[in-house]
């Protein structure tokens, strides 16, 4: 009754692709929001905020890593889509 069929190769690949893409988009948005806030803070106070700069750099590194994982995943696309 509670048994589920294992996902086919294509469905599992598609699910992971969507997950990677969503995480990458979230990190990119977080980077730009943090970078914008850090820029505004720099303009207002004429002093670089180390914490915001660190967060922006961290999200940039995370975004590059996720994008590379996403690209590698796209290269492993299964042949049959059925």
Tell me the per-residue pLDDT of 69-82, one tens digit each, with 9 for 90 and over. Answer: 999 999 988 875 55
pTM of the model: 0.80
pLDDT bucket at 61, cuts 50 / 70 / 90: very high
Average pLDDT over every residue of 10-37: 95
- What dihedral angle (degrees, nearest 10) is formed by the CA atoms of 53, 56, 61, 66? 170
Instruction: Indicate whether 63 belongs to any domain.
Output: yes
What domain range is 63 assigned to? 27-75
pLDDT for 3: 56
Instruction: Indicate whether 35 belongs to any domain.
Output: yes
Instruction: Indicate whether 3 belongs to any domain.
Output: no
pLDDT for 2: 53
Instruction: Indicate whether 82 belongs to any domain.
Output: no
Instruction: Indicate whether 32 belongs to any domain.
Output: yes
State whether residue 37 is helix, strand or coil: helix
The count of domains in the chain is 1
How far is the C-alpha of 67 from the C-alpha of 22, rounded, in Å?
11
């Amino acid at each position: 009754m509670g048994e589920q069929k294992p996902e086919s190769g294509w469905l599992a690949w598609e699910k992971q692709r969507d997950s990677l893409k969503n995480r990458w988009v979230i990190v990119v948005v977080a980077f730009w929001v943090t970078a914008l806030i850090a820029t505004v803070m720099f303009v207002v106070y004429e002093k670089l905020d180390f914490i915001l700069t660190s967060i922006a750099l961290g999200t940039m590194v995370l975004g590059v890593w996720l994008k590379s994982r996403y690209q590698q995943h796209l290269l492993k696309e299964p042949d049959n889509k059925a």
